């Protein structure tokens, strides 16, 4: 089993950011494994997808405000988890060498830049 936290960080010039949609593409080959992709929020992980033995690229567009509001500060934390091997019916349980790999993971945001808060502006001399 394996898990990794990934941070997608926007340039400071576009923060704060009001996201309208989040496009995700994940190309992972993980035979005989479960793959879970979650957004990390202060209240805990928000599951985005769970894939069983993925062998084809997966993509989606997320418009859920609960997920999109996480990006306002310019950072989205994502957790990618790959389970240990589960032997599928009709496969050789004696074959202990079944690899998995991520070919690519891409995130793309659409939205607009929000006005800066006056509370974060430097003091006027």
Do 110 and 18 meet the contact criterion of CB atoms below 8 Å apart?
no
Section 9-33 average pLDDT: 96
CATH number of 2-89+96-110: 2.60.120.260
Answer yes or no: is pLDDT of 118 > 80.
no
Q: Which residue has the higher pLDDT, 125 or 76?
A: 76
Domain residue limits, the chain = 2-89+96-110
At residue 88, the pLDDT reads 65
Section 21-44 average pLDDT: 97
Query: What pTM was computed for the model?
Result: 0.84
Q: In terms of DSSP H, where are the helices of the chain?
A: 65-68
Section 110-119 average pLDDT: 83
At residue 36, the pLDDT reads 98
Do 98 and 30 meet the contact criterion of CB atoms below 8 Å apart?
no
Give the whole-angstrom CA distance, residue 37 versus residue 81: 6
Give the whole-angstrom CA distance, residue 92 versus residue 96: 9
Give the whole-angstrom CA distance, residue 77 versus residue 120: 23
Question: Per residue in 58-112, pLDDT tens?
Answer: 999 999 999 999 999 999 999 999 999 887 676 666 776 789 999 999 999 999 9
Q: How far apart are the first and last CA of the chain?
A: 55
């Amino acid at each position: 089993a394996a898990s990794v936290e990934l941070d997608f960080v926007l340039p400071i010039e576009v923060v704060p950011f009001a996201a309208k949609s989040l496009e995700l593409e994940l190309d992972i080959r993980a035979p005989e494994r479960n793959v879970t992709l979650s957004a990390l929020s202060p209240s805990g992980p928000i599951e985005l997808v769970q894939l069983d033995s993925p062998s084809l690229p997966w993509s989606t567009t997320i418009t859920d405000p609960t997920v999109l509001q996480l990006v306002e500060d310019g950072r989205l934390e994502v957790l990618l988890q790959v389970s240990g091997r589960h032997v599928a019916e009709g496969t050789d349980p004696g074959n202990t060498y079944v690899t998995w790999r991520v070919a690519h993971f891409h995130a793309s945001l659409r939205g607009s830049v929000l006005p800066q808060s006056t509370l974060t502006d430097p003091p006027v001399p």
